[in-house]
Chains A and B, each alone.
Chain A
Amino acid sequence: MAELTPKERVMRLLRKEPIDTMPFFSGMGMVVMPGIEKAGVNFPTIHTDAERMAMSAIWSARLMDFDCVVIPYDMTMESEAVGNTISLYEDSEDILYPTIPNKMWSTLEEVTIPDNIWEKGRLKFLPEAIQIIKKEAPELPIGCWQLGPFTQAGQMLELDLMLKGVFKQKELVANVLDQLTDMIIGIGKFLQDAGCDYITLREPGVAADLLSPRTFKEFIQPRLTRILAAWESPKLLHICGQTEPLLAMMNECGADGLTVDIKCDVKKGREILGSDVLFMGNVDTYTMTCDPKTKKEQTIEHIKGIIDGGMDAVMPGCDLWPAIIEENMKAAVDTTHEYGAKPSPAVGRL
């Protein structure tokens, strides 16, 4: 059935050109335990070494038939690069992503983002990881991502400083967001120059169950728009949580496509956006891919529901949790490829 390589399929979809069948891909983490094990490495080390990151990404995609690889995996690279210390949980038996347990800045005034931050810390090895993937797996498109400025602020500072500051310290909040916006533009260009095929701006911290649509319009939308205008296409915008009140504004930000999670009603979302907007999501990344009690048939129905609801590609609504149930994960991908042979609202078929 497959006529196109995953890379051709995804890149054509992102340009809204006809494809052979619907891809299963993402703008966010797609690394899974079978791939990590096949690469012969353990979880804490895939974040700190270009080769391990690249090979765990490639094997995850190959074993599960994903239509992409996505790097990096964790959200702390930028915060580490400004001088914070990460916790890797190397002694834990559980899968734990790196975190910043203590932030060095305790006030909004202190935030100062260094120039050329991409030359610091782990950010500087991402081009090497991209090159390894290009060489080893030329058939796979490489997705990279950046957190949006508000969510990134939550990695650099205590998030409640930002949340309260929206009312009490507007100028300081604006200053932090502007600095981070410049940083995100710079890192995105650095990743695009290094050869990433598409980039996703993910701003999960601003959904309508946290911030008001008014605050979104005042503080968030202008900066997301500025970032997306500065990056090359293809570029996606992802927000998780309650997004229906935000979709119209998200669509004004200038992305080539929008992605959402399970809390967004796909049919309502499609109604709001119309049939011309590239709209993708919204696989439930715990119940459908990790819960041992979920039967394969339920996962298949979930995927068919997403496609029938009017999505142009099936995408996990968040980072895939690495401890997947393989049978269900494969069923999700296979169903996407088989059931997605028909055209979607914004993308035709060859």
Chain B
Amino acid sequence: MATKEELIEQLKNGVIEYQEDEVKEAAQAWVDDKLEALEGIMDGLAAGMEVVGEMYDRNEYFVPEVLMCADALYGGLAILRPHVPKQEGGLNAQVVIGSIQGDVHDIGKNLVKMMFDVAGWDVHDLGRDVPLENFVEEQLRTDSEVVAMSAMMTTTMLGMKKVIAMIKEKNPNVAIMLGGAPVTKDVANLFGADGYAESAGNAVSEGIKMIGRLREMQKK
């Protein structure tokens, strides 16, 4: 039988090497051994994804590899997450996420969503091609702390500006994250957003750094 340390390595390396089956096996063994699920998620799956982010930054991995790593991570997360007790399951925080109307691409959005899923947030995923007012309505309905929007093309980016104005008018405390290929830091500032990621890859990088910070917080 594998030790706890060995299982952690299996979870982590399985994500890095995009071996979904190995991750699932290790996650099942983790649950069978009655180990703390949250530790498996954070020190195994999320730690592996952090390495993936570093490899992406070094141009060792590109988006295809990252997508496969994400699949492996979700394979493990589906097994481990149900075993995390509610009170320690995360921050009890909520996020509304979606790709904006006119945009049917959702790779970047899904990678950012992964970050929130790992962190144990309640994710309200509106999908893609989402009419602007739906972001506002969903934020009000759920009282979510964060609204994250993605646009893959310049042609849809401008819609973000309207959504931000609509949300901030009704609830100025909501944090807004923007992402997508055409979104630069200047554009995000200009639109009044609180955070940004300029590409699917950048979303991965930024998202993974956030996971890293969450792991540090968890350890304190």
Q: How far is the CA of A94 from the CA of B101 in the complex (A)?
A: 10
Q: Which B residues lie at the A interface, using CB under 8 A?
A: 59, 62-65, 67-68, 71, 101-105, 107, 110, 128-129, 132, 153-159, 162, 181-182, 184, 186-187, 190, 199-201
How many interface residues does chain A have, given as a range? 35 or more
Q: How far is the CA of A87 from the CA of B132 in the complex (A)?
A: 16
Is A87 in contact with B63, judged by CB distance below 8 angstroms?
A: no
Q: Given the interface contacts A159-B107, A166-B64, does A286 sit within 8 Å of B102 by beta carbon?
A: no
Q: Which residues of A contact B102 (CB under 8 A)?
A: 89, 92, 94, 96-97, 99
Q: How far is the CA of A323 from the CA of B161 in the complex (A)?
A: 14
Contact of B67 among A94, A101, A163, A318 (CB under 8 A): A163
Q: Which A residues lie at the B interface, using CB under 8 A?
A: 87, 89, 92, 94-97, 99-101, 154, 159-160, 163-164, 166-168, 208-212, 215, 241, 285-287, 290-291, 293, 318-319, 321, 323
Q: Given the interface contacts A163-B64, A212-B62, does A96 sit within 8 Å of B157 by beta carbon?
A: no
Q: Which residues of B contact A208 (CB under 8 A)?
A: 59
- A-B contact count, CB below 8 Å? 85
Q: How far is the CA of A97 from the CA of B107 in the complex (A)?
A: 19
Contact of B64 among A87, A101, A211, A286 (CB under 8 A): A211
B100 to chain A, nearest CB (A): 10
B90 to chain A, nearest CB (A): 26
Known: A96-B102, A286-B182. 16 other contacts (CB 8 A): A92-B101, A95-B158, A96-B155, A96-B156, A97-B102, A97-B155, A154-B105, A208-B59, A210-B201, A212-B59, A212-B62, A215-B62, A215-B64, A241-B181, A286-B157, A293-B190
Contact of A323 among B156, B158, B186 (CB under 8 A): B158
User: Could you list some 12 contacts between A and B, CB below 8 A?
Assistant: A94-B102, A94-B159, A95-B158, A96-B101, A164-B64, A164-B68, A167-B68, A208-B59, A209-B62, A209-B63, A210-B62, A323-B158
